[in-house]
Structure 1
């Protein structure tokens, strides 16, 4: 059994087999801090196509490619992970909340988020991001956390002017 499947067994408990046979019934998965060893393959998560909430915080996951199939995902918590490429999130148009805080590795661009028009909360502190330009058109943002990034203060101020209803943490 793969490490990710062990975590799902722990999360689902006695309903594990039922959910694995009927993955469309699963809407929420919370694996926070359940994977104490590095997980390299989370491919099994792609079968949960009706998922709206996923928490992989504290798992150390780096490759999130399988998540691109989770088109109904609205909330993704992935803090304390090793994610460097967020391109798999580019077509998750239902995403409302994304937390990539406290990275164990760093993303350098938020370009893949440019078309996520439903995004309301974005937590990307401590990453080597240098610009907010890709997300200037995300008008539903209510919270943006960019503390300890490489984004120039003038650009942050410009963002705040363009989005007066968005609380910006920097």
Structure 2
């Protein structure tokens, strides 16, 4: 594989912070519970969906811990997280009779990602939109995904409430280690 064909990890493609990007999404780094809660209070009505970088055990491919992408739709958020159109990620119709992601970073198994059993002649733009929506749902449902967690408004409200309760109880909470440095 030549260096031109080597998949570029999305995390290596920088996203500008606190700027409205294509698709109405915004990337922000929110390292404390206070900054997360303040941002969410200001932007809750603007954004219905978000993906949170959770760190993880292995090499990160998409978002660093405390990185967030907020947007008006599931697919717009996932498109930004994946750096779709900037990274080498794509989708293809597989010989098994389904659409799947291709050119994933080296440590990503394409069979661990959503697939679509659609016609091989389906418009690619529609396929991509559907795959991105399924990916968002997977990231929210898969509790074992160490790198990315997806949220809708209600789940993000509940998460902030949970971390505030943990903080009040003297337990560990979101961004606690960053508050101590401040």
Same fold (TM over 0.5): no
Structure with more strand by fraction: 2
TM-score, structure 2 as length reference: 0.23
The structure, 1 or 2, with the larger RCO (C-alpha pairs under 8 Å, 6+ apart) is 2
Which protein is bigger by CA-based radius of gyration?
A: 2
